[in-house]
Each structure stands twice: as structure tokens, then as C-alpha cells.
A and B are shown apart, each in its own frame.
Chain A
């Protein structure tokens, strides 16, 4: 039973495992599931293990269990639906407008006949393909598993109702916010960066070291000698260099800010520098890149165990990276091409990485390829950060 449902879930990228599918059947056989509502809830809890897939689950559930009828609703049903739609329209034009995806003002100009026509057009469209989002219209749901409680009950779209059928609940797409496309927020970054740490003994000696205690006690001829050691503390040093100049970084300001805020809260030993497009002989401690320059060459004095993270889109004109006088500000022209500075930094800090806030498919610039050869480059996504942390910690 429900094998088709299982395979559609798999096909659409929800990671469901055969074990969990069997477990669902076990749940069915316990006699605990009495209705489609129960099935919706239980199947989700057993099969789907992340809220990111809840939205997809809802869509597939609605698709699967709405049944064949939806493709060709019979006349009676359509009349039902139309009647309900009209009632709803009278009561709450805004909701209907939102559900049909048309402007409320435009909706008010429609005659009831036009509205129904519009609605049927939409239905047809739906029967052919899924459009997701606000184009979904519910008939109230029908169940293929022989449960009788679900009559076409008209359209309840949005709003809060406690006693919805599972299909209606599924069609609400309540979990849209959690689906994978969502932007990264601070707690997600925190999760990804949590593993970036270096434990070293520090602080007062307040932990009993059992091995040493036993060893020392025996050496002492049985006279107890308790040995304390220091606790392991995180002592990682991080240098963050952020490209904060130029319009090309503008779309990512919010993302980078979030990263920055998190990093500032998380790492005690953190230095942040700013640069524009790429790194020349100086980077700046102040975001305006004027008052506090720091010579790039001076980073040789830093602890080589420091993790260097550079954030930038790595997209620029080739000469900015390769030319001796590449810096786009005339008065700041220096002699060393930027690429040498980058190579110098990569050599100084063996644990370094470049975060590119642009999506990977947009990494078209020629300079991206060059910089990728110097620093391992990662996307500013959960996956990317994860991989970066893995890389930064790997060569310990």
C-alpha cells in the first residue's frame, strides 16, 4: 500500500528510506491510524526527517491523495465548488484574490460569471501541472482510501481553522518557510561554524587527571597524589577579511552581515579587515577603508595557526588582480600585483579559505578561477560553510 506515494516522495527529492516505509506500515498495522488526518501526521513524522522537506511532503501528499477526481471534477462537484467559491468571495474577497493570484481590485470588477470562468481556467491549468504557491486551489479533498468524511467542502484558503482535512492542511503549505530555498540565518551559520575550534588546555588547573593521579600515587608508594590539569578551552584565532567595496558585493550585504555578526559573537580572538575587490599592499581595520590601514606584509607576524577566512565575490577586472598597478584607486598604486599578496597570505596561513557569497553557478568571472587556485573557495551556504570548516580543521 502507498508504494506510489513513497516513490513520488523519493523522486521529488525527499530522502525517505525503505526502513522508514516499513515502519510506517508497522504503524498502520498497530491500528492507531483511523483517518487520513492521522495518516498525514504519522506518515510525515515517520518518513520525513527534516522540516525542510515538510513543504515538499505537503505538496506531494495533496497531489497523491487528492485523487484522480481532481483532474476531471464531475459536474456536481464543480457546482459545489463554484457555489462555495462565490460564498467565500462575498465574505472575504481578499482571501479569494490571494488564492487565485489576482489583484483584489481586479477581482472586484469581475462579474460572478467571469470569476467562475477564471476559476475553471485555473483548475484546468492545475490538472496539467503543478504551479505551486498561490495557484493551488483546493476542492476540499477526496480520499482514495475509502474514508467517507471528506466532501468537497468549498474553498478554505489561508485563515486559521482547527479542523481541516489533511489534504487542506497539506495544501496550506504551512512549512514553505522551512523549505530549502530559504536564506541562511544566524542560527544556521552558528551550526555550521560551531566545529571551527581548536581545543587547547588553558585556565586554572581544576580537572582531576585520573591517569596521572594513579601513576603519581603508585610512584609515591600508595600515598595518594592527586594531579590536576587544565581544562580544554577553545583558543582558535580567526582573521576575517571582507570585501566591502563596490556594487558587485551589494546583493550580499545582508548575508555577509549575518555571517559577520555571528563570527564576532562566536570567536573571542577575531580580527576583521576590509578590502575592495582584492587584496593589495594594505587592508583596513575600519569599514570605510581610510583611517586604519594595515600592511599586508605584516601578517607574517601572526600565528600561522590562525584561520584566515576571506569573504568576497572574487569578481573583478583581470588587471586588478594581475597588474602591478592594478589597484583601481589611482592614488593607491603600488608595485606588487594583488595576486602575489594573495599568494603570500595563503603561504602565511596554511589554514585559509575563501567564502564567495555568490551562488556557484554565477562564478563565471575569470578571476574566480585564478583565486580558486590560491584559496579553496566555498559558497556562503550551509553546505559551503560546512565544507569550509572541514577544510580549515582538516590539516591539524
Chain B
């Protein structure tokens, strides 16, 4: 079995901790040339994965941030009618007005198709778009080509991009959509995993400090009634805040004091619940 064809091709990147399971799924999706759909609660690193893949496989990354108002054609190409209209009126540009192709700009999916090298195409938060958008997009990614109606030309992918799709929603996407992708749900990292994540972000943190922070963090996540639980991003920012505070030492955490709650909780109701629980539970 040569290296090229092994499940362990993608091994994570410098700032991304990858679990074994996910690595396999990424590699098999690349091998099967199928889009990979990632779900999971915020802060589990769905978006970061695409960055990590791009970094580790040394491919350029193209990000399509999906918006609810977006039409599929926006992601493929744009026909800049206004500029053309303007050119036809004033005629002071070097573009040829009768040559429509000069007014076609590629959208994100289009860019991934026409790129000279293989790219990683991240389609972020697909659940924001409506069902038609999702289904039609998958058709295009399936066939790896689309038509530009205005100039009656078909754009074919020079290189099949590695497609990563993320979704925050708990609700299922449509069946035809799901049928065309591989699927993985990223669970929230367990403490061991979280430790390695912290280690890649902070190089010289004391073991004791990491222990205390992780323990407090998972304790804080367990409170009932919290609407937005602190996630990995919050933990890292919180540790950053603690490090920056000259008055802070670990014994505070052991005593049950939690400074900088505002870094961890982003909603005032959550913060109140947390503050109440902290005093009670230690």
C-alpha cells in the first residue's frame, strides 16, 4: 500500500488537532471524490478542518460563506451588467463591450473549478440557504460543471476540488443532498482531546494550569439551563485572558473563583446562571 492510497494521508495541521476517526473520513471522502458534510455544535472545529486540510495538503482554500439570500448562480458566476452598460455608454475602457465573457466574473464555486491546481472548497453553513440552493449546488458538484447562460458556455472543473460542507443545524438537510455527501458529526472534544488542543495553541503552559482550566471549563459546561455553552474558542480565549492577568494564579480556580466569566459566556442570562451555580457548587 503506497502512501498516496492510504487512509492516513491527511494527518492534521499545525494548529488543528485531528482525531483518528475524522482523519479516516476525510481521506476516504477525498478518495471517493465526494463532498464531506460536517455537523456538530459550534466550537468543534468544523470550519477549521477545511483550513487544516488545505494547509496539510498544500492546496489553496476557497471559502464560500453561504447567506440566506444567496442564489446559486451567485456562487457560480456573476454577470456584471452595470459595468457593461457603463462601458457601452462611455466606451472608455479597454474591454470589448460586445464580448460578454469579459463581464463574467467567477463566483467561489466557479473559482474552484477554473483554478489550475486542485483546491479545497469550503462551503460554510449550508443550512442558511434554502433547500433548492442545496440540491442544485450538489448537482453541480456532482457533475463538476455548470453553464453560463449568457454566453452559452459550459465551465468544467479542471481539477475536482476537495469539498467540505459545514452545517450548524440539528435539522436534517434534504435527502437528495445527503445522498450525495459523506457525513460526519463532530462531537464536542473530551478532556483528553481538549488538552491536546490547548497544547497546540499554547506552547508553554504549566500542566497544573491546564488541569485546572480544563476541569473548571467542563464543570462550567455542565450547568443546567445554559443556552450557549462555552466552546473551544471560548476556552482558548479564556486561558489567554488568564495568562494576561498578572494577579491570576491557579489557586483561585481551585478555590472555585472563576475570573473573566464574560469571556466564557456570551449571554447575560447564561452568565447569571453560571455565577449563581459557581457560588453554590464549590
Contact = CB atoms under 8 A, between A and B. Distances in A.
B191 A32 contact: no
Interface stretch (B1-9, B148-156, B210-218, B253-261): B1-9
A210 interface: yes
Contacts, number: 98
B14 interface: no
A191 B7 CA distance: 35
A27 B185 contact: no
B190 interface: yes
Contact of B25 (A45, A175, A186, A192): A45
Interface stretch (A16-24, A114-122, A367-375): A16-24
A42 B21 CA distance: 9
Contacts of B21: 41
B7 A187 contact: no
Contact of B185 (A26, A54, A162, A226): A54
Contacts of B168: 187
Contacts of B32: 23, 26-27, 30, 46
B183 interface: yes
Nearest to B188: A177
Contacts of A31: 1, 5
B82 A27 contact: no
Interface in B163-211: 168-172, 175, 178-179, 181-185, 187, 190-192
B85 A175 contact: no
Nearest to B79: A210
Contact of A45 (B29, B81, B175, B192): B29
A157 interface: no
B89 A50 contact: no
Contacts of B28: 27, 30, 32-33, 42, 45-46
A49 B171 contact: no
B74 to A, nearest CB: 13
A13 B172 CA distance: 15
A178 B5 contact: no
A251 interface: no
Contacts of A175: 185, 187
A20 B179 contact: yes
Contact of B171 (A45, A192, A223): A192
Contacts of A27: 28, 31-32
B46 interface: no
B172 A208 contact: no
A130 interface: no
Nearest to B28: A42
Interface string B3-27: 0011100000000000011001101
Contact of B39 (A32, A51, A222, A232): A51
Contacts of B171: 188, 191-192, 382
Nearest to A197: B68
A213 B178 CA distance: 41
A272 B24 CA distance: 50
Given A19-B179, A51-B185, A186-B227, A210 B172 contact: no
Nearest to B225: A254
A382 B181 CA distance: 23
A320 to B, nearest CB: 33
B127 interface: yes
B159 interface: no
A186 B184 CA distance: 22
Nearest to A231: B69
A160 interface: yes
Contacts of A160: 190-192
Given A49-B172, A382-B171, A191 B127 contact: yes
- Taking residues whose C-beta sits less than 8 angstroms from the other chain, chain A's interface range is 35 or more
A162 B183 contact: no
A361 interface: no
Nearest to B22: A41
Contacts of B25: 41-42, 45
B190 to A, nearest CB: 6
A31 B170 CA distance: 33
Interface in A172-197: 174-175, 178, 185-188, 191-192, 195
Given A30-B5, A33-B7, A41-B21, A48 B31 contact: no
Contacts of A19: 179
Given A31-B1, A49-B178, A54-B185, A188 B170 contact: yes
A104 interface: no
A213 B85 contact: yes
A20 B169 CA distance: 23
Contacts of A217: 85
Interface in B20-58: 20-21, 24-25, 27-29, 31-32, 34, 36-37, 39
A375 B37 CA distance: 39
A170 B24 CA distance: 16
B85 A214 contact: yes
A224 interface: yes
Contacts of A290: none
Nearest to B184: A45
B86 interface: yes
Contacts of B85: 213-214, 217, 224
Interface of B: 1, 5-7, 20-21, 24-25, 27-29, 31-32, 34, 36-37, 39, 69, 81-82, 85-86, 89, 127, 130, 168-172, 175, 178-179, 181-185, 187, 190-192, 227
Interface of A: 15, 17, 19-20, 23, 26-27, 30-34, 38, 41-42, 45-46, 48-52, 54, 160, 162, 174-175, 178, 185-188, 191-192, 195, 208, 210, 213-214, 217, 222-224, 226, 232, 261, 382
**What 6 pairs between A and B have smallest CB-CB spacing?**
A51-B185, A49-B178, A191-B171, A45-B25, A188-B170, A45-B182
6 contacts: A31-B5, A42-B25, A50-B178, A187-B168, A188-B171, A191-B171
